[in-house]
Structure 1
Amino acid sequence: MKSPRTKKTLSTEQAEELLETLAARFEKHPQRHPDIDWPAVRARLEAAPEKLRSLAEMERTGGEPDVVAHDTKTGEYVFVDCAPQSPKGRYSLCYDRAALDARKQHKPDGCATDLAASMGVELLSEEDYFALQKLGEFDTKTSSWLLTPPDIRKLGGAIFGDRRFGRVFIYHNGAESYYNGRGFRAALRV
């Protein structure tokens, strides 16, 4: 799953179309961002065209990004993939480059960390994932790779999360594993 990174910014038309999509999603889900005003978010986005490109990649791969937080210390708004299931455009990836390189046969198309880097986004941490799950029910049929702590990764593992039986679970797998129903959720600070 390679992400084309040919242009760092969107055309004026592409940017406007994306901003309209994001504004409509923002209005449809006010519970995700109480006390945040869209005009302030839009102004921040318009001042950072490279961030719009990252959001376009999140959208293109099925993430349905939306604002979920405002960092009052930095002024940044945090966008997270809010698609009900893990983004389809990011399925069947192992965790990272080391895991991909270690696979000798039946290699996946890529790895989550490389794709995230090419998109200009970060994988959600466990903390981010639990915060997202307070805003709705996500990954009820899929799972999502999460940013794995170095001590777990050093031992060959990687973590992922999902929601089953009314609860959020964090599990582990070998970092080289990949599944059709597992992608990754991303975060972007603007």
Structure 2
Amino acid sequence: MGRARGTQEHDGLRSERLRLRPWTVADAAFRRRLWAERDPRVPAGRRLTADGSPSLADMEAWILGYEPEPTPGLLVVELVEDEAPIGYCGLVRDSVARSGDPELAFEFLRTSWGHGYATEAARAVVARAAEVGHEHLVATVREWNTASLTVLGKLGFVDTGEREHDPVHGDSLLLRARLR
């Protein structure tokens, strides 16, 4: 039986099938691929533009300047068996609820959907968040993103009833999980 909780591995985390590690400049093309695959309902500033922005150089600059706060930050998720990056998962500063609680964020390549990787990676991050003393986590997700809502439900996140109305891209829902 696999580990239910993530274990710390060098500057990252590990689960049964996944390794979560810090970003390297070599991950710029992978990050850009994630942006290219985003659903067209995602706001334009978070997708590649028609002229190809952000560029590979922009992605490299983001990685070089990235500070992993709050702990453990956003980590690249790769398969243990072949070290192929398939997504990212981690914590970011809450920009919506302004609660001071970290926000769980994750995104995966479409080819990795449906295998439980998001749930497995997020469980490792949630366990690490509890280990470092976070009492709550928040998550924001578009109401149309049923796959992410399913993952968050498996992790104990509950809908707070708070909504950010967006008639163009779909409302964002605020969810919260108690870790302690």
Is the structural similarity TM-score above 0.5?
no
TM-score (norm 2): 0.40
Q: More strand per residue: 1 or 2?
A: 2
Higher relative contact order structure (alpha carbons within 8 Å, sequence separation ≥ 6): 1
Q: More helix per residue: 1 or 2?
A: 1
